């Protein structure tokens, strides 16, 4: 039997993490087995256990990779739109679309991993990785006057509900009405 070079082993690990990141968001952690994951990239289950101590370790690494992709997306929004307020508005426009709703595998990891992380029986690496990603997303969504966490919660809640009701008129209404609320001009707080 031939041994895999160190460079090939690193590439195999990268491919496994990338595939897991997409498939876990698309089908859920329990919706994809180790065997199915490895088959999707043309490797054996034995190869998985040479790379990862457990599926949980892969889930944490896949979530971290997905949040890394989100960071790159947010950076590209800033670069493309010039100022952060315009970039944030463009992200809201993108986030609350049928395209984003219908492509969970490449969509926001905050929504994609939410259900699985919520079902984690105990705090651990997966939950810590997820929490750090949510905090970073919320920091990016923050304004000079508003904490970004309610905005992230609204976006994620809307996309989860829209995905759960996809194929119905309600799904479109969720996206449209949430977009309307999130892009409406804000009245100054009279108590400020």
Low-confidence ranges of the chain (pLDDT < 50): 1
What is the pTM assigned to this prediction?
Answer: 0.90
Predicted pLDDT at 9:
83
pLDDT for the residue 39 = 92
| Angstrom distance (rounded) from CA 27 to CA 35 | 14
User: What pLDDT is stored for residue 111 in this prediction?
Assistant: 97
Close Cβ partners of 16 (under 8 Å, ≥ 6 residues apart): 37, 38, 41, 43, 48, 51, 52, 58
Q: Tell me how far the alpha carbon of residue 163 is from its chain's centroid.
A: 14
pLDDT at 189: 58
Residue 97 has a pLDDT of 97
Please tell me the predicted confidence (pLDDT) of residue 155: 98
pLDDT the model gives residue 154:
98
The alpha carbon torsion through 159, 160, 162, 168 (nearest 10 deg) reads 160
pLDDT of residue 122: 83
Backbone angles phi, psi at 168, to 5 degrees: -120, 160
**Amino acid 1: pLDDT:** 47
pLDDT of 48 reads 87
Please report, to the nearest 10 degrees, the dihedral formed by the alpha carbons of residues 61, 63, 64, 65 taken in order: 90
């Amino acid at each position: 039997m031939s041994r895999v070079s160190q460079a090939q082993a690193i590439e195999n690990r990268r491919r496994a993490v990338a595939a897991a990141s997409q498939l876990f968001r698309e089908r859920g952690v329990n919706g994809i087995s180790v065997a199915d994951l490895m088959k999707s990239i043309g490797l054996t289950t034995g190869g998985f256990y040479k790379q990862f101590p457990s599926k949980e370790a892969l889930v944490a690494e896949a979530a971290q990779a997905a949040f890394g992709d989100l960071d790159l997306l947010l950076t590209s929004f800033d670069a493309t739109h010039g100022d952060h307020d315009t970039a944030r508005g463009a992200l809201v426009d993108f986030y609350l679309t049928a395209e984003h709703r219908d492509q969970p595998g490449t969509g926001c990891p905050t929504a994609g991993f939410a259900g699985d992380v919520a079902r984690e029986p105990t705090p651990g690496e997966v939950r810590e990785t997820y929490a750090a990603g949510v905090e970073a997303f919320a920091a990016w969504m923050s304004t000079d006057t508003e904490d970004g966490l309610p905005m992230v919660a609204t976006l994620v809640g809307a996309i989860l509900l829209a995905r759960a009701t996809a194929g119905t008129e309600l799904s479109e209404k969720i996206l449209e009405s949430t977009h309307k609320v999130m892009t409406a001009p804000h009245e100054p707080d009279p108590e400020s």
